[in-house]
Chain A
Amino acid sequence: MQRMLIDFSGDDAVFGHFGATGGYALAARRAMHEFGTGPETWKKIAVGQRKWAGLNPAAMLRDKPLSEADYDAARWVVEPLRLPDNCLITDGGRAIIVTSVERARDLRQPPAVIMGLGMHNPSTSITQSDWMAGPTGARPAGEAAFAMAGITRDAVDACEIYDCFTYTVEITLQDYGFFKPGEGRDWLQGGTIEPGGRLPVNTSGGQLAEAYFMGLTPIAEGTMQIMGRCGQRQLGAATKTKSPEIILCSDNGGILQSHACILLRRL
């Protein structure tokens, strides 16, 4: 494992820079400097997602509620990121089946329909990036997906955002335009993304609190929510949220080096 981490890090390891937490810590720190975000914003994401995990029997952290005080007391991994800012490490798998709408109509399960897709891959190594505080690939990818779907953000009922770190959730929602740079902290106030909130985010608990299955955690959850298969955490009356017609899902790779946005809707 250590050998892999060193090989993966190349000469960055010479200076003690390893893996993903360090890379996202660099990005998150620059964002603190440029638009005034920080742990007060990320705390709302970590705490909010943990509430969703409490409703998910499959969530690794279902029985470990997280309060704001717990977050404040948590240890630094690589500052400015604390332990609850980090995703989980999970053995397991997820799959989704993609077929034509025509075929899906005849299946027993109701489908989720792909209404828009967008990708943008800035690629640049994070150590050579001058856009760590955005806009990341999420902006053009989101614009492309919304254009293909022919809708605007206002039509989105919930988001399943790739959440390797809490900061990734903030910068992704920000680059999609849900709030202006630095306004995430206010936007998140009052449980916006939580059960009962006006824009639920990462309704399984996400990779921070359910399980880390790379891009499959968000897209599988978005699909299952549209299909109505989410039990106690199902969007709609059960969680005092809007019944989902349209869900936005994102994926992200490297240290903000690749991005995909996918919009799903009910048939």
Chain B
Amino acid sequence: MPYEKPLPKRNPDNQPFWEGCKNHELRFQECSACGHVRWPPSLLCPRCHSPEARRLTAKGTGRIYTFAVYHTAYHPGFAAELPYTVAVVVLDEGPRLLTNIIGCPPGEVTCDMPVEIVWADIDENITLPKFKPA
């Protein structure tokens, strides 16, 4: 069955992130000057403005900051999955990722719930980072 949901829009800034996902790694920029782990990707550190960064691979664990349960399909690709859970997950290394919580009924999801990464392979080029209760 063809994949009918929107796909990530790749650009030079986010290319390392999506390449990492393909390899089942959560790759972020870590500022060489102040240590801030950046997300979304950027040319300069939003905290100290340094352009220098090294790669950091996150462990893939964190907690749910907040979540929303969709009962409306704003795109037909999601109609079959209603209700589904969108969440902001704060990774242990700091970045906040917008993602989905899977493997858990929406009614059992809570704020501050510990979660871990689940890799959703879409095709040979795209893998999405999703999360499940840890």
**Chain A residues packing against B (C-beta within 8 Å):** 2, 5-6, 9-19, 21-22, 25-27, 29-30, 32-33, 75-80, 127-128, 130, 132
Contacts and interface: CB of A to CB of B under 8 A. Distances in A.
B72 A78 contact: yes
Contacts of B65: 30, 130, 132
Contacts of B5: 13-14, 16
B22 to A, nearest CB: 14
Given A15-B128, A33-B111, A79 B68 contact: yes
Given A15-B99, A16-B100, A127-B88, A2 B69 contact: no
B7 A14 contact: yes
B92 interface: no
Given A12-B98, A15-B100, A16-B75, A79 B88 contact: no
Interface string B52-88: 0000000000000111111110110110010110101
A77 B72 contact: yes
Contacts of B103: none
A17 to B, nearest CB: 5
B105 interface: no
Best-surrounded residue of B8, B65, B98 (most CB of chain A within 10 A): B98
Contact of A79 (B7, B71, B97): B71
A98 to B, nearest CB: 36
A19 B73 CA distance: 12
Given A15-B100, A77-B72, A29 B128 contact: no
Interface in B1-51: 5-9, 14, 39-40
A18 B8 contact: no
Nearest to A30: B66
Given A15-B98, A22-B70, A29-B68, 11 more contacts: A14-B7, A15-B130, A16-B70, A16-B100, A26-B66, A26-B68, A29-B66, A32-B111, A76-B71, A78-B69, A80-B68
* Interface size band for B: 35 or more
A27 B87 CA distance: 11
A6 B6 contact: yes
A33 B128 contact: no
A30 B111 contact: yes
8 contacts: A6-B75, A17-B98, A26-B86, A30-B66, A75-B71, A78-B70, A80-B68, A127-B96
A62 B106 CA distance: 35
B69 A79 contact: yes
B121 interface: no
Contact of A26 (B67, B72, B84): B67
A77 to B, nearest CB: 5
A15 B14 CA distance: 16
Nearest to A125: B40
Contact of A29 (B8, B67, B72, B83): B67
A18 to B, nearest CB: 4
A177 B130 CA distance: 38
